[in-house]
Chains A and B, each alone.
Chain A
Amino acid sequence: MYDNSPWAAFELIARMDPVLISIVALSLKVSLSAVAIATLIGLPIGAAVALWRFPGRSLLIVILNAFMGLPPVVVGLAVYLLLSRAGPLGKYGLLFTPTAMIIAQFVLVLPIIAALARQVIEDLWQEYREQLGSLGVTRRRAIPTLLWDARFSLLTVVLAGFGRASAEVGAVLIVGGNIDGITRVMTTAIALETNKGNLALAMGLGVILLSLVALINAAAYLISETSRRRLG
């Protein structure tokens, strides 16, 4: 029998339960890695789509916007097929590893970051366009300028991506397999422990997940607000 009193969850947190700690650490590693890679690739994509006019641009914008709502289980399934033994990337043996989970979350987060960044950069470009043009700045040169000057708004964009990654369960469950000690993260553990009836651990994980997400958002908000106020 599991101890299902509401205090059990806090007790697990209080004594830094090693299983709990490893689950939390893996969750952060997977989601932060996925968001970091998606940021590195998504911001330049968003900026490029914002600045250049090319055939199919509108279609690309619609696709990016639509993909912000990709169902995690569908992404999980697609990445599963890609990485499974018979799939095109099967030889790398990545299925049921943390790497597979990072890939799946990266696919989920990339459209969010690219689509929102596109909007932010396009607005700023409208404002800067004449002045940068007058200084002789080429579009390619304008990309780092705009990314830097939009940094506070873009931080919110990255946070939206992080929120998505840290909250989803479908994709990591399918490609990670929720293997104890290897690919178990907070969301998959909560689902599993709830099914098992170990509500205390599930609740503890839920509390930690919420607090971590709140903490990271609060820190980012504070940093951006103070610098924004300083920089006008």
Chain B
Amino acid sequence: MNQSLSLSSLLPLELEQVSFSHRGQTLLHAIDLRLGPRGKTIVMGPNGAGKSLLMRLCHGLLQPTSGTIRWAGKPQASRQEIRRRQAMVFQRPIMLRRSVLANVCYALAVHGVSWRQRNALAMQALEHMGLAALAQRPARVLSGGEQQRLALARAWALRPDILFLDEPTSALDPAATKAVEDAIEEFHRAGTRIVMSTHDLGQARRLADEVVFMCGGRLLEQTPAERFFEAPASLEAAAFVRGELIW
């Protein structure tokens, strides 16, 4: 559906000198970043590095104080159209006070899918994430892991070009984390660009094609995964990979 509407991909995504300030405090300093059309980028860094902020700016939930964000070379032309081809999964999934199925249908409705198609597409997405049996359950009584899978199913139904995930497993147990990681691989196989933040090194090693390392509101490096874990370019990243505290 979304793919059929769009002839070309949203990507690459380019950030040029993007800064973000809030109440006189500069939280992101002149970020330059280019995300190519494919792959899994893991955004790493200590708490307060600006990982979540960076993803919210990319996703369009926040507007940069200065600098430009360009999708496929065009400055944010139709925000509505660009938004519809992205999805984001948050650290704490927010579910509407409705059934599991209705939560997915709602997202489809917002994206302009006719009501005739909604149910089938939503069920398909739920089956994909192993939630079909829970379709009629109220979404907010699901466990944390199930809710996060529902958030992924909701994103899956929207067939985004790019999926942002903000520490999606930080509150989950290992089994639920595994399910989320498997789902991310599924998105990847389906051609969705993955951008995910985490401070779990093991998870980053498992998933990353490329690592973006941030510290103190600055982007310190963007390095292919293998190189990042073997020989990070920045001192801070090297300390981070060794598991030392950095400030």
Contact = CB atoms under 8 A, between A and B. Distances in A.
Interface of A: 127-128, 130-131, 133-137, 141, 145, 149, 151, 230-232
A163 B159 CA distance: 49
Interface string B93-137: 010111000000011001100000000000000000000000000
Given A145-B106, A231-B141, A136 B94 contact: no
Q: What 7 pairs between A and B have smallest CB-CB spacing? A: A232-B140, A232-B141, A131-B94, A231-B138, A136-B83, A134-B88, A149-B97
A136 B110 contact: yes
A130 B141 CA distance: 21
B138 A230 contact: yes
B68 to A, nearest CB: 20
Contact of B97 (A133, A135, A232): A232
Most buried by A among B84, B86, B88: B88
Given A134-B90, A231-B97, A231-B140, 5 more contacts: A131-B90, A134-B88, A135-B107, A149-B98, A232-B139
Chain A binding site: helix, strand, loop or mixed by DSSP? helix
A141 B110 CA distance: 9
B88 to A, nearest CB: 4
Contacts of A134: 59, 61, 86-88, 90
| Chain B, interface residues (CB within 8 Å), range | 20 to 34
A133 B94 CA distance: 12
Contacts of B138: 230-232
B94 A130 contact: yes
B4 interface: no
B125 to A, nearest CB: 14
A230 B139 CA distance: 10
B143 to A, nearest CB: 11
A141 B98 CA distance: 17
A83 B104 CA distance: 51
Interface in B139-163: 139-141
Given A136-B110, A145-B106, A231-B141, A128 B98 contact: no
Nearest to A133: B61
B84 A136 contact: yes
B8 interface: no
A66 to B, nearest CB: 31
Contact of A130 (B84, B90, B111, B139): B90
Nearest to B93: A131
Contacts of B140: 231-232
Contacts of A128: 94, 96
A149 B110 contact: no
A94 B56 CA distance: 57
A115 to B, nearest CB: 23
A128 B88 CA distance: 14
A231 B141 CA distance: 7
13 contacts: A130-B90, A130-B94, A131-B94, A134-B59, A135-B107, A136-B83, A136-B84, A137-B110, A149-B96, A230-B138, A231-B97, A231-B138, A232-B97
Contacts of B84: 136
B25 interface: no
A103 B146 CA distance: 49
Contacts of B96: 128, 145, 149
Nearest to B99: A231
Contacts of A131: 90, 94
A135 B108 CA distance: 9
Given A230-B138, A231-B138, A135 B61 contact: no
Contacts of A127: 94
B38 to A, nearest CB: 22
B110 to A, nearest CB: 5
Most buried by B among A133, A136, A145, A232: A136
Contacts of A231: 97-98, 138, 140-141
B40 to A, nearest CB: 20
B171 to A, nearest CB: 16
Given A127-B94, A232-B140, A136 B59 contact: no
B211 to A, nearest CB: 24
Query: Which residue, A141, A149, A232, has most C-beta atoms of chain B within 10 A?
Result: A232
